[in-house]
Structure 1
């Protein structure tokens, strides 16, 4: 990068570069050099903004968790509209069509990153646990509206939906599952707790 050229929002530029590398090449390709090259900035830029590469990765993961906040709000606002299964299938496709699956692999791949995340996120994998909370909140809203059975265990259903979707989307080398397959999986998990036909 030429001297004297300012980088606007360098952290976001580096995080977006990490997204692209993770989705395209997987966690083993994610290095500080790869990130700065992908971001088209000088090698030292990353280390001027973060203590080390694992500090960068920890903040990257937490930033991606924060990106779930508007998605969670939109899903909750969808309660009472459309069908429960369609709302969830669309949400899961959006969630796992993003960098979420790759972040899970990254956290599994890097011991030091897991250790750092445990300092602020003591239980579970950050993106997945936040996604479970998002789905559970939506299901609770639908239960309050009578579109999910009053005795439904929304926390367990949410964990089942996230786990099922993760398995559907986990193969980075294959294509994404068909929308009908995601809808069918959601309907199967919800069988017996919604009046909607499977």
Structure 2
């Protein structure tokens, strides 16, 4: 990129480039050089906005966590409307998009990233933990509306749903599993808890 050309939003441009590289090349292909090349900017642009590559990755993950929290609010707002299994299915399809699945692998692969995310106050397992909290919050809201059994063990149901969905999405190649497959997992995990 020629010098003197102002970037509109360099952080967002770098985040989007990193996500494209991560989904296309995987964790091993995600380097600062690959990100800046993908973004079409000089290598120094990344280091002008972030202390180092792990600081960049931390901010990238925190940005995705913020998106999960917005999704969680939207899901709780949907409580009492539609079908519980359909609402959860839609949320899981958004939550476990290819980017999210790739970021989970990135978090697992980079010790320093996990340490920085914990220092930033994320869940014990970043993104997956926030996804679990999202499902638990929704199930509690539905329980308050008597659409989930009062004795349902939400603290067991939420991580079970997230774990089962995560496995379903990671086993899929070339995109998300069919919504019917995700719904089947949701219905099975909820079992008699849904009314």
> Common fold, TM-score beyond 0.5?
yes
For the 8 Å contact 2:165–2:182, the answer to whether it is kept is yes
Q: Distance in 2 between matches of 1:89 and 1:122?
A: 24
Q: Quick check: 1:92–1:165 contact (8 Å CA) kept in 2?
A: yes
What is the CA RMSD across the aligned residues, in angstroms? Answer: 1.4
Q: Which residue of the partner structure matches residue 90 of structure 1?
A: 90
1:178 aligns to what?
178
Matched, 1:119 2:119: yes
Q: Tell me if the contact between 1:57 and 1:113 (Cα under 8 Å) persists in the aligned partners.
A: yes
Q: Give unpaired runs (5+ residues) of structure 1.
A: none
**Greater CA drift, 86-95 or 114-123:** 114-123
Question: For 1:10-69, what per-residue CA distance to the aligned partner results, in whole angstroms no more than 9, with x for missing partners?
Answer: 111111111111122211111001111111111110011111111111111111101112
- 8 Å Cα contact 2:18-2:35 kept in structure 1: yes
> Is the 1:58–1:113 contact (alpha carbons within 8 Å) kept by the matching residues of 2?
yes
* Separation (CA, whole Å) in 2 of partners of 1:132 and 1:173: 23
Partner residue, 2:60: 60
| Distance in structure 2 (CA, Å) of the matches to 1:51 and 1:189 | 43
Q: Structure 1 residue 175: deviation in Å?
A: 4.0
Alignment of 1:154-173 (within 5 A): 154-171=154-171, 173=173
- For the residue of structure 2 that corresponds to 1:23, the secondary structure is helix
Counterpart of 2:189? 189
- 1:100 equivalent in structure 2: 100
Distance 1:69 1:123 in 2: 12
Figure out how many residues of one structure are paired with residues of the other and give that number.
Answer: 195
Structure 1 runs of 4+ aligned residues shifted over 6 Å read none
User: For the residues of structure 2 that align with 1:16 and 1:156, how far apart are their CA atoms?
Assistant: 35
Q: How does 1:138-157 map to 2 (within 5 A)?
A: 138-157=138-157
Residue 124 of structure 2: SS of its match in structure 1? coil
Deviation at 1:121, TM superposition (A): 3.4
Separation in structure 2 between the aligned mates of residue 56 and residue 172 of structure 1, nearest angstrom: 28
